[in-house]
A and B are shown apart, each in its own frame.
Chain A
Protein backbone atom coordinates (compact mmCIF):
# COMPACT_ATOMS: atom_id res chain seq x y z
CA UNK A 1 0.00 0.00 0.00
CA UNK A 2 2.80 2.43 1.00
CA UNK A 3 4.89 1.14 -1.90
CA UNK A 4 2.08 1.75 -4.39
CA UNK A 5 1.50 5.24 -2.98
CA UNK A 6 5.21 6.04 -3.20
CA UNK A 7 5.31 4.79 -6.76
CA UNK A 8 2.48 7.07 -7.83
CA UNK A 9 4.01 10.03 -6.01
CA UNK A 10 7.40 9.53 -7.67
CA UNK A 11 5.87 8.85 -11.07
CA UNK A 12 3.64 11.92 -10.84
CA UNK A 13 6.52 14.19 -9.84
CA UNK A 14 8.65 12.67 -12.60
CA UNK A 15 6.09 13.44 -15.28
CA UNK A 16 5.30 16.87 -13.87
CA UNK A 17 8.95 17.87 -13.75
CA UNK A 18 9.51 16.48 -17.25
CA UNK A 19 6.71 18.75 -18.45
CA UNK A 20 8.25 21.67 -16.59
CA UNK A 21 11.60 21.03 -18.31
CA UNK A 22 9.95 21.82 -21.62
CA UNK A 23 7.60 24.59 -20.54
CA UNK A 24 9.51 26.66 -17.98
CA UNK A 25 10.64 30.03 -19.28
CA UNK A 26 14.02 30.16 -17.62
CA UNK A 27 16.47 27.58 -19.05
CA UNK A 28 18.23 27.29 -15.70
CA UNK A 29 14.93 26.27 -14.13
CA UNK A 30 14.55 23.77 -16.95
CA UNK A 31 17.82 22.10 -16.05
CA UNK A 32 16.91 22.06 -12.37
CA UNK A 33 13.60 20.39 -13.21
CA UNK A 34 15.54 17.90 -15.34
CA UNK A 35 17.60 17.07 -12.27
CA UNK A 36 14.41 16.57 -10.28
CA UNK A 37 13.20 14.23 -13.02
CA UNK A 38 16.44 12.22 -12.81
CA UNK A 39 16.02 11.93 -9.07
CA UNK A 40 12.51 10.59 -9.34
CA UNK A 41 13.60 8.12 -12.00
CA UNK A 42 16.30 6.96 -9.60
CA UNK A 43 13.67 6.56 -6.89
CA UNK A 44 11.59 4.42 -9.26
CA UNK A 45 14.66 2.27 -9.95
CA UNK A 46 15.14 1.87 -6.21
CA UNK A 47 11.54 0.78 -5.78
CA UNK A 48 12.04 -1.81 -8.51
CA UNK A 49 14.98 -3.17 -6.49
CA UNK A 50 17.61 -1.93 -8.94
CA UNK A 51 19.69 -0.06 -6.36
CA UNK A 52 22.90 -0.11 -8.41
CA UNK A 53 21.22 1.43 -11.46
CA UNK A 54 19.51 4.02 -9.28
CA UNK A 55 22.74 5.25 -7.75
CA UNK A 56 24.65 5.12 -11.03
CA UNK A 57 21.89 7.24 -12.55
CA UNK A 58 22.36 9.81 -9.82
CA UNK A 59 26.18 9.75 -10.02
CA UNK A 60 26.46 9.92 -13.80
CA UNK A 61 23.50 12.01 -14.85
CA UNK A 62 22.88 14.24 -11.84
CA UNK A 63 26.44 14.41 -10.55
CA UNK A 64 28.23 14.91 -13.84
CA UNK A 65 26.10 15.40 -16.96
CA UNK A 66 23.55 17.78 -15.46
CA UNK A 67 26.31 19.79 -13.78
CA UNK A 68 27.81 20.42 -17.20
CA UNK A 69 24.37 21.28 -18.62
CA UNK A 70 23.82 23.76 -15.83
CA UNK A 71 27.32 25.10 -16.31
CA UNK A 72 26.68 25.82 -19.99
CA UNK A 73 23.12 27.07 -19.61
CA UNK A 74 24.09 29.51 -16.85
CA UNK A 75 26.73 31.03 -19.10
CA UNK A 76 24.41 31.47 -22.06
CA UNK A 77 23.29 34.98 -22.72
CA UNK A 78 19.65 34.48 -23.55
CA UNK A 79 17.12 37.09 -24.50
CA UNK A 80 13.86 35.67 -23.20
CA UNK A 81 11.67 37.92 -25.33
CA UNK A 82 13.36 36.72 -28.50
CA UNK A 83 13.04 33.15 -27.31
CA UNK A 84 9.29 33.51 -26.93
CA UNK A 85 8.87 34.95 -30.41
CA UNK A 86 10.68 31.91 -31.78
CA UNK A 87 8.23 29.69 -29.93
CA UNK A 88 5.30 31.22 -31.81
CA UNK A 89 6.94 30.61 -35.14
CA UNK A 90 8.32 27.13 -34.67
CA UNK A 91 5.54 25.59 -32.58
CA UNK A 92 3.51 24.28 -35.60
CA UNK A 93 6.58 22.63 -37.21
CA UNK A 94 7.53 21.08 -33.88
CA UNK A 95 4.00 19.80 -33.39
CA UNK A 96 3.99 18.20 -36.88
CA UNK A 97 7.34 16.47 -36.30
CA UNK A 98 6.19 15.29 -32.88
CA UNK A 99 2.98 13.89 -34.31
CA UNK A 100 4.85 12.01 -37.07
CA UNK A 101 7.26 10.52 -34.53
CA UNK A 102 4.38 9.52 -32.30
CA UNK A 103 2.57 7.82 -35.20
CA UNK A 104 5.73 5.94 -36.19
CA UNK A 105 6.21 4.75 -32.65
CA UNK A 106 2.60 3.57 -32.61
CA UNK A 107 3.16 1.59 -35.84
CA UNK A 108 6.31 -0.01 -34.48
CA UNK A 109 4.73 -0.86 -31.17
CA UNK A 110 1.60 -2.23 -32.86
CA UNK A 111 3.54 -4.71 -35.01
CA UNK A 112 6.10 -5.64 -32.31
CA UNK A 113 6.57 -9.37 -31.75
CA UNK A 114 7.34 -10.06 -28.10
CA UNK A 115 9.54 -13.03 -27.18
CA UNK A 116 7.38 -15.74 -25.63
CA UNK A 117 8.98 -15.65 -22.16
CA UNK A 118 9.03 -11.88 -21.86
CA UNK A 119 6.14 -11.75 -19.43
CA UNK A 120 7.92 -13.98 -16.91
CA UNK A 121 11.21 -12.11 -17.40
CA UNK A 122 9.52 -8.82 -16.65
CA UNK A 123 8.38 -10.09 -13.29
CA UNK A 124 11.96 -11.01 -12.32
CA UNK A 125 13.64 -7.64 -12.58
CA UNK A 126 15.42 -8.50 -9.34
CA UNK A 127 17.81 -11.49 -9.45
CA UNK A 128 16.03 -14.71 -8.56
CA UNK A 129 18.81 -15.75 -6.20
CA UNK A 130 18.35 -13.68 -3.02
CA UNK A 131 21.97 -14.29 -1.96
CA UNK A 132 23.16 -12.50 -5.07
CA UNK A 133 23.19 -8.71 -4.70
CA UNK A 134 21.84 -6.51 -7.43
CA UNK A 135 25.29 -5.24 -8.36
CA UNK A 136 26.77 -8.73 -8.64
CA UNK A 137 23.90 -9.99 -10.77
CA UNK A 138 24.32 -7.07 -13.15
CA UNK A 139 28.09 -7.54 -13.29
CA UNK A 140 27.77 -11.22 -14.12
CA UNK A 141 25.48 -10.43 -17.04
CA UNK A 142 27.34 -7.43 -18.41
CA UNK A 143 30.81 -8.95 -18.24
CA UNK A 144 29.84 -12.36 -19.65
CA UNK A 145 26.90 -12.59 -22.04
CA UNK A 146 26.95 -8.95 -23.08
CA UNK A 147 30.67 -8.25 -22.93
CA UNK A 148 30.90 -7.23 -26.61
CA UNK A 149 27.93 -4.89 -26.46
CA UNK A 150 29.33 -3.41 -23.29
CA UNK A 151 32.75 -2.82 -24.82
CA UNK A 152 31.23 -1.37 -27.98
CA UNK A 153 29.27 1.08 -25.86
CA UNK A 154 32.57 2.14 -24.32
CA UNK A 155 34.16 2.51 -27.75
CA UNK A 156 31.33 4.72 -28.94
CA UNK A 157 31.90 7.01 -25.98
CA UNK A 158 35.63 7.01 -26.74
CA UNK A 159 34.94 8.06 -30.33
CA UNK A 160 32.71 10.87 -29.10
CA UNK A 161 35.44 12.00 -26.73
CA UNK A 162 38.14 11.96 -29.40
CA UNK A 163 35.78 13.83 -31.72
CA UNK A 164 35.28 16.56 -29.14
CA UNK A 165 39.03 16.86 -28.61
CA UNK A 166 39.73 17.01 -32.35
CA UNK A 167 37.13 19.74 -32.79
CA UNK A 168 38.72 21.96 -30.16
CA UNK A 169 42.39 21.14 -30.70
CA UNK A 170 44.35 23.99 -32.25
CA UNK A 171 48.00 24.21 -33.11
CA UNK A 172 49.69 26.51 -30.67
CA UNK A 173 51.16 29.67 -32.17
CA UNK A 174 54.94 29.44 -32.26
CA UNK A 175 55.45 32.34 -29.86
CA UNK A 176 52.98 31.15 -27.22
CA UNK A 177 54.37 31.08 -23.72
CA UNK A 178 53.74 28.00 -21.69
CA UNK A 179 54.54 27.20 -18.13
CA UNK A 180 57.02 24.34 -17.81
CA UNK A 181 56.96 23.43 -14.16
CA UNK A 182 60.07 21.24 -14.37
CA UNK A 183 62.10 24.10 -15.81
CA UNK A 184 60.80 26.46 -13.16
CA UNK A 185 61.68 24.13 -10.35
CA UNK A 186 65.14 23.55 -11.80
CA UNK A 187 65.98 27.23 -11.36
CA UNK A 188 67.12 26.63 -7.82
CA UNK A 189 68.67 30.04 -7.34
CA UNK A 190 65.38 31.79 -8.09
CA UNK A 191 63.74 30.60 -4.88
CA UNK A 192 66.15 30.35 -1.97
CA UNK A 193 64.82 28.03 0.66
CA UNK A 194 65.59 28.84 4.26
CA UNK A 195 65.30 26.29 7.03
CA UNK A 196 63.84 28.10 10.01
CA UNK A 197 64.00 26.23 13.31
CA UNK A 198 60.70 26.08 15.14
CA UNK A 199 59.85 28.78 17.66
CA UNK A 200 62.41 31.26 16.40
CA UNK A 201 61.64 34.15 14.17
CA UNK A 202 63.61 35.13 11.12
CA UNK A 203 65.25 37.89 13.19
CA UNK A 204 67.42 35.49 15.12
CA UNK A 205 68.88 33.91 12.01
CA UNK A 206 70.50 37.07 10.76
CA UNK A 207 68.23 37.20 7.72
CA UNK A 208 67.07 40.61 8.76
CA UNK A 209 66.21 43.29 6.28
CA UNK A 210 68.25 46.44 6.07
CA UNK A 211 67.27 48.94 8.70
CA UNK A 212 65.12 51.64 7.21
CA UNK A 213 66.40 55.17 7.68
CA UNK A 214 64.97 56.46 10.92
CA UNK A 215 64.31 60.07 10.06
CA UNK A 216 61.10 60.39 7.97
CA UNK A 217 59.01 58.18 10.17
CA UNK A 218 55.42 57.95 8.91
CA UNK A 219 52.75 58.28 11.52
CA UNK A 220 52.53 55.25 13.75
CA UNK A 221 50.09 52.62 12.56
CA UNK A 222 48.81 50.15 15.09
CA UNK A 223 49.35 47.04 12.98
CA UNK A 224 52.94 47.72 12.01
CA UNK A 225 53.97 44.34 13.38
CA UNK A 226 51.91 42.54 10.73
CA UNK A 227 54.00 43.26 7.68
CA UNK A 228 57.21 42.30 9.40
CA UNK A 229 57.70 38.67 8.53
CA UNK A 230 56.70 39.30 4.93
CA UNK A 231 59.27 41.95 4.21
CA UNK A 232 62.08 40.03 5.80
CA UNK A 233 61.47 37.18 3.48
CA UNK A 234 61.42 39.22 0.31
CA UNK A 235 64.54 41.12 1.16
CA UNK A 236 66.30 37.94 2.14
CA UNK A 237 65.59 36.59 -1.31
CA UNK A 238 67.66 39.19 -3.05
CA UNK A 239 70.89 38.56 -1.20
Chain B
Protein backbone atom coordinates (compact mmCIF):
# COMPACT_ATOMS: atom_id res chain seq x y z
CA UNK B 1 0.00 0.00 0.00
CA UNK B 2 2.73 2.43 0.99
CA UNK B 3 4.67 1.71 -2.17
CA UNK B 4 1.57 2.38 -4.24
CA UNK B 5 1.03 5.73 -2.50
CA UNK B 6 4.62 6.70 -3.25
CA UNK B 7 4.33 5.78 -6.94
CA UNK B 8 3.55 8.57 -9.43
CA UNK B 9 -0.01 7.33 -9.85
CA UNK B 10 -0.52 7.21 -6.08
CA UNK B 11 0.84 10.73 -5.66
CA UNK B 12 -1.45 11.93 -8.42
CA UNK B 13 -4.50 10.32 -6.79
CA UNK B 14 -3.62 11.79 -3.38
CA UNK B 15 -3.12 15.26 -4.85
CA UNK B 16 -6.45 15.10 -6.66
CA UNK B 17 -8.21 14.00 -3.46
CA UNK B 18 -6.52 16.74 -1.47
CA UNK B 19 -7.52 19.34 -4.02
CA UNK B 20 -11.12 18.11 -3.95
CA UNK B 21 -11.12 18.18 -0.14
CA UNK B 22 -10.08 21.82 -0.36
CA UNK B 23 -12.09 23.00 -3.37
CA UNK B 24 -15.47 21.46 -2.57
CA UNK B 25 -15.79 23.24 0.81
CA UNK B 26 -14.37 26.36 -0.83
CA UNK B 27 -17.02 26.41 -3.56
CA UNK B 28 -19.73 25.73 -0.98
CA UNK B 29 -18.26 28.62 0.99
CA UNK B 30 -18.46 30.82 -2.10
CA UNK B 31 -22.11 29.87 -2.58
CA UNK B 32 -23.00 30.71 0.99
CA UNK B 33 -20.86 33.83 0.99
CA UNK B 34 -23.18 35.29 -1.65
CA UNK B 35 -26.12 34.48 0.61
CA UNK B 36 -24.33 35.79 3.70
CA UNK B 37 -23.55 39.03 1.91
CA UNK B 38 -27.19 39.58 1.00
CA UNK B 39 -28.39 38.64 4.49
CA UNK B 40 -25.84 40.79 6.32
CA UNK B 41 -26.39 43.78 4.07
CA UNK B 42 -30.14 43.34 4.50
CA UNK B 43 -29.77 43.31 8.29
CA UNK B 44 -27.64 46.46 8.12
CA UNK B 45 -30.25 48.19 6.00
CA UNK B 46 -33.20 46.93 8.07
CA UNK B 47 -34.50 44.60 5.36
CA UNK B 48 -35.07 40.87 5.44
CA UNK B 49 -32.91 39.68 2.58
CA UNK B 50 -33.56 36.45 0.67
CA UNK B 51 -35.90 34.34 2.84
CA UNK B 52 -38.17 32.51 0.44
CA UNK B 53 -36.17 29.67 -1.14
CA UNK B 54 -35.75 27.02 1.56
CA UNK B 55 -35.65 27.69 5.32
CA UNK B 56 -34.21 31.19 5.97
CA UNK B 57 -33.44 31.39 2.25
CA UNK B 58 -30.68 28.78 2.63
CA UNK B 59 -31.30 27.29 -0.80
CA UNK B 60 -31.10 30.68 -2.52
CA UNK B 61 -27.50 30.22 -3.84
CA UNK B 62 -28.49 26.99 -5.57
CA UNK B 63 -31.57 28.58 -7.08
CA UNK B 64 -29.35 31.39 -8.39
CA UNK B 65 -26.80 28.93 -9.77
CA UNK B 66 -29.52 26.93 -11.55
CA UNK B 67 -30.96 30.10 -13.01
CA UNK B 68 -27.54 31.09 -14.33
CA UNK B 69 -27.00 27.64 -15.83
CA UNK B 70 -30.30 27.65 -17.68
CA UNK B 71 -29.86 31.06 -19.28
CA UNK B 72 -28.50 31.49 -22.76
CA UNK B 73 -24.84 32.40 -23.18
CA UNK B 74 -24.72 35.42 -25.46
CA UNK B 75 -21.49 36.21 -27.26
CA UNK B 76 -21.62 39.64 -28.93
CA UNK B 77 -21.03 39.52 -32.68
CA UNK B 78 -18.15 42.01 -32.52
CA UNK B 79 -16.42 40.18 -29.69
CA UNK B 80 -13.20 38.22 -29.92
CA UNK B 81 -14.84 34.85 -29.24
CA UNK B 82 -11.89 32.92 -27.86
CA UNK B 83 -10.69 35.60 -25.47
CA UNK B 84 -14.26 36.51 -24.52
CA UNK B 85 -14.78 33.02 -23.11
CA UNK B 86 -11.23 32.75 -21.80
CA UNK B 87 -11.47 35.86 -19.56
CA UNK B 88 -14.00 34.56 -17.02
CA UNK B 89 -12.40 31.12 -17.03
CA UNK B 90 -9.04 32.65 -16.19
CA UNK B 91 -10.55 34.66 -13.34
CA UNK B 92 -12.01 31.59 -11.66
CA UNK B 93 -8.98 29.37 -12.33
CA UNK B 94 -6.64 31.90 -10.74
CA UNK B 95 -8.91 32.30 -7.73
CA UNK B 96 -8.87 28.53 -7.23
CA UNK B 97 -5.25 27.55 -7.92
CA UNK B 98 -3.97 30.01 -5.34
CA UNK B 99 -5.45 27.74 -2.66
CA UNK B 100 -2.81 25.11 -3.40
CA UNK B 101 -0.38 26.73 -0.96
CA UNK B 102 -2.78 27.90 1.78
CA UNK B 103 -2.14 25.93 4.99
CA UNK B 104 -5.37 25.26 6.89
CA UNK B 105 -3.53 23.61 9.79
CA UNK B 106 0.10 22.89 10.70
CA UNK B 107 1.49 21.47 7.47
CA UNK B 108 -1.94 20.94 5.92
CA UNK B 109 -1.36 22.46 2.53
CA UNK B 110 -1.67 20.72 -0.84
CA UNK B 111 1.77 22.11 -1.73
CA UNK B 112 3.87 23.35 1.19
CA UNK B 113 6.40 25.22 -0.97
CA UNK B 114 9.30 27.40 0.16
CA UNK B 115 8.11 30.50 -1.67
CA UNK B 116 4.42 30.31 -0.77
CA UNK B 117 3.98 34.04 -0.25
CA UNK B 118 5.54 34.84 -3.60
CA UNK B 119 3.25 32.30 -5.24
CA UNK B 120 0.22 33.99 -3.71
CA UNK B 121 1.45 37.43 -4.76
CA UNK B 122 2.11 36.17 -8.29
CA UNK B 123 -1.32 34.59 -8.61
CA UNK B 124 -3.12 37.62 -7.24
CA UNK B 125 -1.20 39.89 -9.61
CA UNK B 126 -2.38 37.72 -12.51
CA UNK B 127 -6.01 38.26 -11.54
CA UNK B 128 -6.05 41.50 -13.51
CA UNK B 129 -5.70 39.57 -16.78
CA UNK B 130 -9.13 37.99 -16.49
CA UNK B 131 -10.66 41.44 -16.25
CA UNK B 132 -8.55 43.19 -18.85
CA UNK B 133 -9.00 40.36 -21.39
CA UNK B 134 -12.74 40.32 -20.79
CA UNK B 135 -12.96 44.10 -21.15
CA UNK B 136 -11.03 44.13 -24.39
CA UNK B 137 -12.61 41.05 -25.95
CA UNK B 138 -16.14 42.38 -25.34
CA UNK B 139 -15.48 45.11 -27.90
CA UNK B 140 -17.64 47.53 -25.94
CA UNK B 141 -16.82 50.98 -24.58
CA UNK B 142 -18.12 50.44 -21.08
CA UNK B 143 -16.39 47.11 -20.71
CA UNK B 144 -13.12 48.55 -21.99
CA UNK B 145 -13.24 51.55 -19.66
CA UNK B 146 -13.92 49.23 -16.75
CA UNK B 147 -11.00 47.00 -17.71
CA UNK B 148 -8.59 49.93 -17.99
CA UNK B 149 -9.64 51.29 -14.63
CA UNK B 150 -9.29 47.91 -13.04
CA UNK B 151 -5.84 47.32 -14.52
CA UNK B 152 -4.48 50.64 -13.25
CA UNK B 153 -6.07 50.10 -9.86
CA UNK B 154 -4.80 46.59 -9.29
CA UNK B 155 -1.25 47.41 -10.36
CA UNK B 156 -1.22 50.42 -8.02
CA UNK B 157 -2.37 48.58 -4.95
CA UNK B 158 -0.15 45.59 -5.54
CA UNK B 159 2.88 47.77 -4.86
CA UNK B 160 1.86 48.65 -1.34
CA UNK B 161 0.62 45.10 -0.80
CA UNK B 162 4.07 43.84 -1.74
CA UNK B 163 5.72 46.21 0.74
CA UNK B 164 3.37 45.09 3.52
CA UNK B 165 4.21 41.47 2.78
CA UNK B 166 7.93 42.30 2.85
CA UNK B 167 7.46 43.81 6.31
CA UNK B 168 5.85 40.62 7.54
CA UNK B 169 8.60 38.56 5.93
CA UNK B 170 11.23 40.61 7.76
CA UNK B 171 9.66 39.54 11.05
CA UNK B 172 9.46 35.89 9.98
CA UNK B 173 12.62 35.24 7.99
CA UNK B 174 10.93 32.80 5.62
CA UNK B 175 8.69 32.85 2.57
CA UNK B 176 6.91 29.70 3.66
CA UNK B 177 3.32 30.26 4.74
CA UNK B 178 3.53 27.57 7.40
CA UNK B 179 6.57 29.28 8.92
CA UNK B 180 4.77 32.63 8.84
CA UNK B 181 1.92 31.26 10.93
CA UNK B 182 4.25 29.49 13.36
CA UNK B 183 6.21 32.74 13.84
CA UNK B 184 3.03 34.24 15.31
CA UNK B 185 2.91 31.81 18.24
CA UNK B 186 3.88 34.52 20.72
CA UNK B 187 1.99 37.44 19.23
CA UNK B 188 -0.13 37.79 16.12
CA UNK B 189 1.40 40.24 13.69
CA UNK B 190 -1.59 42.54 13.59
CA UNK B 191 -0.59 43.90 17.00
CA UNK B 192 2.98 45.05 16.30
CA UNK B 193 2.24 45.80 12.63
CA UNK B 194 -1.21 47.31 13.11
CA UNK B 195 -0.91 50.11 10.48
CA UNK B 196 0.33 47.58 7.94
CA UNK B 197 -2.59 45.32 8.76
CA UNK B 198 -5.00 48.16 7.94
CA UNK B 199 -3.15 49.00 4.72
CA UNK B 200 -3.14 45.36 3.70
CA UNK B 201 -6.84 44.99 4.34
CA UNK B 202 -7.70 48.11 2.34
CA UNK B 203 -5.42 46.94 -0.46
CA UNK B 204 -7.22 43.60 -0.55
CA UNK B 205 -10.47 45.49 -0.99
CA UNK B 206 -8.94 47.29 -3.97
CA UNK B 207 -7.36 44.10 -5.30
CA UNK B 208 -10.66 42.24 -5.33
CA UNK B 209 -12.49 45.23 -6.87
CA UNK B 210 -14.87 45.33 -3.94
CA UNK B 211 -16.69 48.43 -2.78
CA UNK B 212 -15.64 51.16 -2.07
CA UNK B 213 -13.08 50.46 -4.84
CA UNK B 214 -15.43 48.81 -7.34
CA UNK B 215 -14.80 51.36 -10.05
CA UNK B 216 -14.20 48.59 -12.55
CA UNK B 217 -17.89 47.76 -12.26
CA UNK B 218 -19.20 51.18 -11.25
CA UNK B 219 -22.81 50.51 -12.17
CA UNK B 220 -23.76 54.17 -11.88
CA UNK B 221 -21.37 55.23 -14.63
CA UNK B 222 -20.16 52.13 -16.48
CA UNK B 223 -23.31 49.98 -16.27
CA UNK B 224 -21.41 46.91 -15.06
CA UNK B 225 -17.91 47.69 -16.29
CA UNK B 226 -15.96 44.78 -17.70
CA UNK B 227 -18.85 42.32 -17.28
CA UNK B 228 -21.42 44.35 -19.15
CA UNK B 229 -21.53 41.95 -22.12
CA UNK B 230 -21.50 38.77 -20.09
CA UNK B 231 -24.48 36.58 -19.42
CA UNK B 232 -25.34 33.18 -18.00
CA UNK B 233 -22.39 30.93 -17.10
CA UNK B 234 -19.71 33.31 -18.32
CA UNK B 235 -21.11 35.87 -15.89
CA UNK B 236 -21.43 33.24 -13.17
CA UNK B 237 -17.72 32.43 -13.54
CA UNK B 238 -16.84 36.09 -12.88
CA UNK B 239 -19.18 36.09 -9.94
CA UNK B 240 -17.65 32.91 -8.49
CA UNK B 241 -14.17 34.25 -9.16
CA UNK B 242 -14.85 37.48 -7.31
CA UNK B 243 -16.16 35.71 -4.22
CA UNK B 244 -13.45 33.04 -4.29
CA UNK B 245 -10.94 35.89 -4.46
CA UNK B 246 -12.55 37.51 -1.45
CA UNK B 247 -12.17 34.30 0.53
CA UNK B 248 -8.60 33.95 -0.70
CA UNK B 249 -7.67 37.46 0.35
CA UNK B 250 -9.30 36.90 3.74
CA UNK B 251 -7.26 33.73 4.12
CA UNK B 252 -4.12 35.68 3.21
CA UNK B 253 -4.96 38.36 5.77
CA UNK B 254 -5.51 35.79 8.48
CA UNK B 255 -2.28 33.95 7.64
CA UNK B 256 -0.15 37.08 7.50
CA UNK B 257 -1.64 39.00 10.43
CA UNK B 258 -4.19 36.98 12.40
CA UNK B 259 -2.15 33.88 13.16
CA UNK B 260 -3.70 31.46 10.63
CA UNK B 261 -4.92 28.36 12.44
CA UNK B 262 -3.51 29.36 15.86
CA UNK B 263 -5.95 29.93 18.74
CA UNK B 264 -6.00 33.46 20.21
CA UNK B 265 -4.43 32.20 23.45
CA UNK B 266 -2.72 28.86 23.92
CA UNK B 267 -4.84 27.91 26.96
CA UNK B 268 -7.09 24.95 27.73
CA UNK B 269 -10.55 25.51 26.25
CA UNK B 270 -9.24 27.50 23.30
CA UNK B 271 -6.59 25.07 22.09
CA UNK B 272 -9.02 22.14 22.15
CA UNK B 273 -10.70 23.66 19.11
CA UNK B 274 -9.04 22.25 15.98
CA UNK B 275 -6.89 24.62 13.92
CA UNK B 276 -9.01 24.64 10.74
CA UNK B 277 -11.99 25.88 12.79
CA UNK B 278 -9.97 28.86 14.01
CA UNK B 279 -8.77 29.48 10.48
CA UNK B 280 -12.33 29.45 9.12
CA UNK B 281 -13.52 31.73 11.94
CA UNK B 282 -10.81 34.27 11.11
CA UNK B 283 -11.67 34.10 7.41
CA UNK B 284 -15.32 34.70 8.30
CA UNK B 285 -14.35 37.71 10.41
CA UNK B 286 -12.47 39.23 7.46
CA UNK B 287 -15.33 38.44 5.08
CA UNK B 288 -17.81 40.07 7.43
CA UNK B 289 -15.66 43.19 7.37
CA UNK B 290 -15.64 43.07 3.54
CA UNK B 291 -19.44 43.09 3.58
CA UNK B 292 -19.64 45.67 6.34
CA UNK B 293 -17.42 48.01 4.35
CA UNK B 294 -19.62 47.51 1.31
CA UNK B 295 -22.74 48.42 3.27
CA UNK B 296 -21.10 51.46 4.86
CA UNK B 297 -18.91 53.38 2.43
CA UNK B 298 -19.76 55.19 -0.77
CA UNK B 299 -17.64 54.51 -3.84
CA UNK B 300 -14.33 56.36 -4.17
CA UNK B 301 -13.79 58.73 -7.04
CA UNK B 302 -11.15 57.45 -9.43
CA UNK B 303 -8.53 60.15 -8.74
CA UNK B 304 -9.02 59.71 -5.01
CA UNK B 305 -8.41 56.00 -5.42
CA UNK B 306 -5.16 56.60 -7.27
CA UNK B 307 -4.09 59.25 -4.78
CA UNK B 308 -4.73 56.90 -1.87
CA UNK B 309 -2.70 54.13 -3.48
CA UNK B 310 0.31 56.07 -4.69
CA UNK B 311 0.54 59.11 -2.43
CA UNK B 312 -0.64 57.70 0.89
CA UNK B 313 -0.18 53.95 1.09
CA UNK B 314 3.04 53.62 -0.89
CA UNK B 315 5.12 56.21 1.05
CA UNK B 316 3.63 55.14 4.35
CA UNK B 317 4.30 51.45 3.89
CA UNK B 318 7.81 52.19 2.60
CA UNK B 319 8.61 54.29 5.69
CA UNK B 320 7.09 51.71 8.00
CA UNK B 321 9.10 48.96 6.31
CA UNK B 322 12.35 50.86 6.90
CA UNK B 323 11.28 51.56 10.48
CA UNK B 324 10.51 47.91 11.17
CA UNK B 325 13.86 46.89 9.67
CA UNK B 326 15.67 49.38 11.94
CA UNK B 327 13.83 48.24 15.05
CA UNK B 328 14.46 44.58 14.29
CA UNK B 329 18.13 45.24 13.63
CA UNK B 330 18.75 47.46 16.67
CA UNK B 331 16.83 45.22 19.05
CA UNK B 332 18.52 42.14 17.63
CA UNK B 333 15.18 40.51 16.82
CA UNK B 334 16.03 39.75 13.21
CA UNK B 335 15.30 36.07 12.59
CA UNK B 336 18.42 34.08 11.75
Flag whether B189 is at the interface (Cβ < 8 A).
Answer: no
A46-81 to B contact mask, C-beta < 8 Å, 1/0? 000001100110110011100110110011000000
Per-residue B-contact encoding for A15-55, CB less than 8 Å = 1, 0 else: 00000000000001000100100000000000000011001
Chain B interfacial residues counted at CB < 8 A: 28
Q: A71-B151, A71-B152 are in contact. Are A135 and B114 (CB under 8 A)?
A: yes
A-B residue pair count with CB separations less than 8 angstroms: 66
Interface flags, B62-88, vs A, CB<8A=1, else 0: 000000000000000000000100000
A133 part of interface (Cβ distance < 8 Å) = yes
CB of B132 within 8 Å of the partner chain: yes
Given contacts A56-B118, A135-B175, contact A64 B129 (CB under 8 A): no
- B132 engages A74 (CB within 8 Å): yes
Per DSSP, chain A at the interface is: helix
Q: Which of A63, A133, A135, A199 contacts B125 (CB 8 A)?
A: A63
Q: How far is the CA of A122 from the CA of B168 in the complex (A)?
A: 34
Question: In the assembled complex, how far is the CB of residue A60 from the closest CB belonging to chain B, in whole angstroms?
Answer: 9
A134 surroundings in chain B (CB, below 8 A): 114-115
Q: Which residue of B lies closest to A51 (CB)?
A: B115
Are B115 and A64 in contact, CB atoms less than 8 angstroms apart? no
Chain B residues near A75 (CB, 8 Å)?
148
Contact, CB under 8 Å: A55 / B122: yes
A52 touches B126 (CB 8 A): no
Is B158 an interface position by the 8 A CB rule?
Answer: yes
- Which of A51, A71, A179, A199 touches B114 (beta carbons < 8 Å)? A51
Is there contact, CB below 8 Å, between A62 and B118?
Answer: no
Dominant secondary structure at the B interface: helix
Task: For the complex formed, measure the closest distance between the CB of A192 and the CB atoms of chain B, giving whole angstroms.
Answer: 17
With A134-B114, A135-B175 in contact, is A67–B151 under 8 Å at CB? Answer: yes
**Contact A133/B155 with A62-B126, A71-B148 known, Cβ cut-off 8 Å:** no
Q: Mark B88-113, 1 if CB is under 8 A from A, else 0.
A: 00000000000000000000000001
Pair A59/B125 contact, Cβ less than 8 Å: yes
Task: Note all chain B residues with C-beta closer than 8 A to A35.
Answer: 129
> Which residues of B sit under 8 angstroms from A58, Cβ to Cβ?
122, 125-126
Q: Pick from B113, B136, B155: contact of A67, CB below 8 A.
A: B155
Contact (Cβ within 8 A) A63 B158: yes
In angstroms, Cα B174 to Cα A135, docked, is: 9
Mask: chain A, 217-232; 1 = CB below 8 Å from B; 0 = not: 0000000000000000
Report the minimum CB–CB distance from A179 to chain B (whole Å). Answer: 8
Q: Are B122 and A63 within 8 A (Cβ)? A: yes
Within 8 A of A (CB), among B23-41: none
Q: Which one of B115, B119, B151 has the highest number of Cβ atoms from chain A below 10 Å of its Cβ?
A: B115
Determine whether B128 belongs to the interface, using a CB cutoff of 8 Å to chain A.
yes
Listed by A's residue number, 21 A-B pairs whose Cβ atoms lie within 8 Å are A35-B129, A51-B113, A55-B118, A55-B122, A58-B125, A59-B121, A62-B125, A63-B122, A64-B125, A64-B155, A67-B128, A67-B129, A67-B155, A70-B129, A70-B151, A71-B152, A74-B136, A133-B114, A133-B175, A134-B114, A135-B115
**Which A residues are within 8 Å of any B CB, using their own CB?**
2, 28, 32, 35, 51-52, 55-56, 58-59, 62-64, 67-68, 70-71, 74-75, 133-135, 179, 199
What would 20 more interface pairs be, CB under 8 Å, given A51-B113, A55-B121, A67-B151?
Answer: A2-B8, A32-B83, A51-B115, A55-B119, A59-B122, A62-B126, A63-B122, A63-B125, A63-B158, A64-B155, A64-B158, A67-B129, A67-B132, A71-B148, A74-B132, A74-B136, A74-B147, A133-B175, A134-B115, A199-B46
- B interface list, Cβ under 8 A from A: 8, 46, 83, 113-115, 118-119, 121-122, 125-126, 128-129, 132-133, 136, 144, 147-148, 151-152, 154-155, 158, 162, 175, 303
| The 10 A-B residue pairs with the shortest CB-CB distance in the complex, in nearest-first order | A63-B125, A55-B118, A58-B122, A59-B122, A133-B114, A55-B122, A51-B115, A74-B136, A71-B151, A55-B115
